[in-house]
């Protein structure tokens, strides 16, 4: 038995594969100094990518919207993600791809002149709320001191690392005894939280904010599964009133799936237990990870020898 | 003559000094993946730090506001900045200090549990507009497609790398034939641009936005110099009308000082030449870099041998 140097994860940096502990980016990369980038996160569950093509398509669309280009094709980026997972050997993985504006040439400030950079890595799956805690549900706080960065400033559909508002929200949530933060816009409409979308099952309709949020792939999956299950859905703007009256609330994220909310601002959501619709959707969400229409197996090395 | 490995700049990373080409941060640092950080930039001009204590104080105040702590004292951070400049030997330098939330421990999402990280580096001085071009003045565009991230989402007085709106603005400025972008808030008030504050000399008063902007040290210096020069000043909110009527417009930044604006949205500002008040302030700004009240000499190695 030799130890795998990639067992904590494998990153693709500057054209080569390195263990996570060595995965570093230039301090002058404007992806850091201007947070000028887009990224995407896809999961691998039981050795299978989930909705990989949807993530790859969104990623390419988004870096194009930022007017970035890169020498690797989508097929080559796809292969990099597979190789990160293969080398790590991780069966349940959090796989991130990042396109940054890149390092400014000496004395140049104009971002049109930077060479854009692509980074990727696979690490063990990240849980916003782990499987055990999902059976109990979590406690969200609707923030009063911080609003979500508006679309007119930074477009949330171009997945980004502008988390200043979300981190401020996290601290407010902790201060108020909660576990997770949800932000509103300046008109009081519910938006999203750090790394997740929100759903409310209200008057027989599964509602999720229509705008001012990331159009999450897990959000899309939930909407599609709900449709298959004949649950009415609606993408719309709504405020605290809908959350106050909701029969069920849950969050959706690549980092954990369908996450039941049982407490809001210190008060129970209905009976304070994960809701029936929520748990049905959660069950279908995880079942879908084995289905060929949405998942793609990783060809780990050694598998052919029965390893 | 031996070549100095630090001549392109020197960085302090993880407790050691490295040449800029080797200055890298972990890809998992939440300073990158959440842009969860604050930073500050101070200049060295003719071998002297300019208003170093003001920058160090603001930096410490800001990382405290983000609830960050670090084992280095302000005195030790100060010494790191000096050593970066000394090793580089650079006489006109752009010196940046950054405090990030740090790398999440494995499986942890709660930012309260991360060990905060301090980075610093000195590189050759960065010009938003170089000295020669300052004699002609620059062309600003007041953005219509993007608004500045509001204070209620991310506080601009805690200097940050949330530049998504500013970079979007830069592209709009280029598309409209300009060189630099200025953003408004959602009410149409003028705010700031990528890396600079704005001033308008209007009806005999030097006006600069009161809120929704970084409280720049160069902005503060300009206000103090104006007071010494008996020029009335006002920090207030104003919109396009003031810019349209202004006799002079200029920008202020550590990266270039006092930058005359001679064209706005394709039209000349008054006669389209750098203004008189602007150029007087610019002259005083650079003179002040030699004055003991505001500047501190760097003890470069070899100086005692007359090198």
Q: Which helix (H) or strand (E) holds A280?
A: helix A276-287
Beta-carbon contacts of B186 under 8 Å, excluding residues fewer than 6 positions away, are A150, A152, A186, B147, B150
In this predicted structure, what is the pLDDT of residue A3?
A: 86
Q: Are B40 and A40 in contact (CB under 8 A)?
A: no
Q: Which helix (H) or strand (E) holds A132?
A: helix A131-136
Q: Are B103 and B117 in contact (CB under 8 A)?
A: yes
B191-205 b/e (C-beta count within 10 Å ≥ 16 → b): bbbbbbbbbbbbeee
Please give the Cα distance from B44 to B290 (Å, whole number). 11
Which stretches of B10-51 are DSSP H helices?
Answer: 30-33
Largest CA distance in chain A: 61
Question: Best interface-test mutation with B: which of A21, A154, A183 has the largest number of B CBs within 10 A?
Answer: A154
Nearest to B27 among A25, A36, A147 (CB): A25
Q: Are B251 and B199 in contact (CB under 8 A)?
A: yes
Nearest to B150 among A8, A109, A150 (CB): A150
Which residue in B has a C-alpha nearest to residue A255's C-alpha? B109
- Mapped onto helix, strand or coil, the DSSP state of residue B24 is strand
In this predicted structure, what is the pLDDT of residue B220?
A: 98
In this predicted structure, what is the pLDDT of residue A282?
A: 98
Q: Are A217 and A55 in contact (CB under 8 A)?
A: yes
Per CATH, the number for B131-290 is 3.20.10.10
Question: Best interface-test mutation with A: which of B17, B154, B155, B188 has the largest number of A CBs within 10 A?
Answer: B154
Locate CATH 3.20.10.10 in chain B: 131-290
Q: Which helix (H) or strand (E) holds B168?
A: helix B164-175
Q: How far is CA B211 from the centre of its chain?
A: 17
Per CATH, the number for B10-124 is 3.30.470.10
Distances (CA, A) of A288 to A42, A166, A224: 15, 30, 11
Nearest to B89 by CA among B19, B20, B21, B7: B7
Which residue in B has a C-alpha nearest to residue A25's C-alpha? B24
Both tokens of B26, joined, read: 């972990």
Taking an 8 Å cut-off on Cβ atoms, the answer to whether B163 and A36 are in contact is yes
Q: Are B121 and B17 in contact (CB under 8 A)?
A: no
Q: Are B173 and B143 in contact (CB under 8 A)?
A: yes
In this predicted structure, what is the pLDDT of residue B2?
A: 67
The model's pLDDT over B148-197, given as tens digits with 9 standing for 90+, comes to: 999 999 999 999 999 999 999 999 999 999 999 999 999 999 999 999 99
Q: How open is the CA angle B67-B70-B71, to the nearest 5 degrees? A: 150
* Residue B107 confidence class, pLDDT cut points 50, 70, 90: confident
Distance from CA of B21 to the nearest CA of A (A): 8
Output the average pLDDT for chain B: 96
Cβ contacts below 8 Å, chain A against chain B, sum to: 143
User: Please, what are the averages of pLDDT over each run of 10 residues along chain A (307 residues)?
Assistant: 88 97 98 98 98 98 98 98 98 98 95 98 95 95 98 98 98 98 98 98 98 98 98 98 98 97 98 98 97 97 57
* Residue B3 confidence class, pLDDT cut points 50, 70, 90: confident
Cβ neighbour number for residue A1 with a 10 Å cutoff: 3
In this predicted structure, what is the pLDDT of residue A182?
A: 98
- Mapped onto helix, strand or coil, the DSSP state of residue A276 is helix
Nearest to A167 among B34, B127, B186 (CB): B34
Please give the Cα distance from B169 to B148 (Å, whole number). 9
Nearest to A34 by CA among A90, A142, A134, A109: A109
Q: Are B196 and B181 in contact (CB under 8 A)?
A: no
Nearest to B186 among A124, A152, A155 (CB): A152
* Residue B303 confidence class, pLDDT cut points 50, 70, 90: low
Please give the Cα distance from B243 to B262 (Å, whole number). 12
Nearest to A185 by CA among A218, A222, A215, A210: A210
Question: Best interface-test mutation with A: which of B9, B13, B16, B34 has the largest number of A CBs within 10 A?
Answer: B34
Nearest to B78 by CA among B57, B99, B102: B57
Nearest to A109 among B112, B128, B164 (CB): B128
Locate CATH 3.30.470.10 in chain A: 10-124
Q: What are phi and psi of B54, to 5 degrees?
A: -65, -40
Beta strands in chain A (DSSP E): 10-13, 16-19, 24-26, 37-45, 48-50, 93-100, 117-124, 138-147, 180-184, 197-202, 205-209, 233-236, 248-253, 257-264, 267-268, 295-297
Which residue in B has a C-alpha nearest to residue A18's C-alpha? B27
In this predicted structure, what is the pLDDT of residue A302?
A: 80
- Higher pLDDT: B305 or A7? It is A7
Render A14-81 in DSSP notation, one character per residue. Answer: TTEEEEGGG-EEETT-HHHHS--EEEEEEEEETTEEESHHHHHHHHHHHHHHTT---SS-HHHHHHHH
The model's pLDDT over B66-101, given as tens digits with 9 standing for 90+, comes to: 999 999 999 999 999 999 999 999 999 999 999 999
Please give the Cα distance from A113 to A123 (Å, whole number). 32
In this predicted structure, what is the pLDDT of residue B293?
A: 96
* Residue whose token pair is 């980074």: A119
Nearest to B80 by CA among B122, B32, B39, B36: B122
Please give the Cα distance from B95 to B118 (Å, whole number). 14
Beta-carbon contacts of B124 under 8 Å, excluding residues fewer than 6 positions away, are A106, A107, B8, B9, B90, B92, B93, B94
Which residue in A has a C-alpha nearest to residue B29's C-alpha? A24
Ramachandran sector of residue B121 (left: φ over 0; alpha: ψ -120 to 50; beta: rest):
beta
The model's pLDDT over B208-243, given as tens digits with 9 standing for 90+, comes to: 999 999 999 999 999 999 999 999 999 999 999 999
The model's pLDDT over B253-284, given as tens digits with 9 standing for 90+, comes to: 999 999 999 999 999 999 999 999 999 999 99
Pairing state between β A138-147 and A257-264:
parallel
Nearest to B273 by CA among B136, B131, B134, B130: B136
pLDDT value at B49 more than 90: yes
Q: Are B217 and B157 in contact (CB under 8 A)?
A: no
Which residue in A has a C-alpha nearest to residue B164's C-alpha? A154
Pairing state between β B48-50 and B37-45:
antiparallel
- In this prediction the ipTM stands at 0.97
Residues of B in contact with A67 (CB under 8 A): 171
Q: How far apart are the first and last CA of chain B?
A: 12
């Amino acid at each position: 038995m030799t130890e795998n140097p990639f067992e904590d994860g494998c990153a693709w940096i500057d054209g080569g594969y390195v263990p996570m502990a060595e995965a570093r980016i230039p301090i002058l990369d404007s992806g850091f100094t201007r947070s000028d980038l887009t990224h995407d996160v896809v999961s691998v569950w039981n050795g299978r990518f989930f909705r990989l093509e949807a993530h790859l398509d969104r990623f390419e669309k988004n870096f194009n919207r930022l007017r970035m280009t890169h020498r690797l094709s989508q097929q080559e980026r796809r292969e990099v993600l597979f190789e990160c997972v293969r080398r790590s050997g991780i069966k349940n993985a959090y796989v991130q791809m990042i396109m940054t504006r890149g390092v400014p040439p000496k004395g140049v400030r104009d971002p049109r002149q930077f060479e854009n950079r692509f980074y990727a890595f696979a690490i063990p799956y990240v849980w916003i709320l782990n499987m055990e805690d999902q059976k109990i549900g979590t406690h969200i706080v609707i923030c009063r001191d911080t609003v979500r960065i508006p679309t007119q400033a930074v477009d949330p559909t171009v997945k980004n690392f502008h988390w200043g508002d979300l981190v401020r929200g996290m601290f407010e949530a902790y201060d108020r005894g909660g576990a997770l933060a949800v932000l509103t816009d300046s008109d009081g409409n519910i938006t999203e939280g750090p790394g997740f979308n929100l759903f409310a099952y209200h008057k027989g309709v599964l509602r999720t904010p229509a705008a001012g949020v990331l159009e999450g792939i897990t959000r899309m999956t939930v909407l599609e599964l709900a449709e298959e299950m004949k649950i009415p859905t609606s993408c719309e703007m709504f405020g605290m009133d809908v959350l106050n009256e909701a029969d069920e609330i849950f969050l959706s994220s690549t980092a954990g799936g369908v996450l039941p909310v049982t407490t809001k601002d210190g008060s129970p959501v209905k009976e304070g237990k994960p809701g029936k619709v929520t748990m049905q959707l959660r069950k279908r969400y995880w079942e879908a990870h084995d289905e060929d229409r949405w998942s793609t197996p990783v060809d780990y090395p050694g598998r052919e020898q029965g390893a």
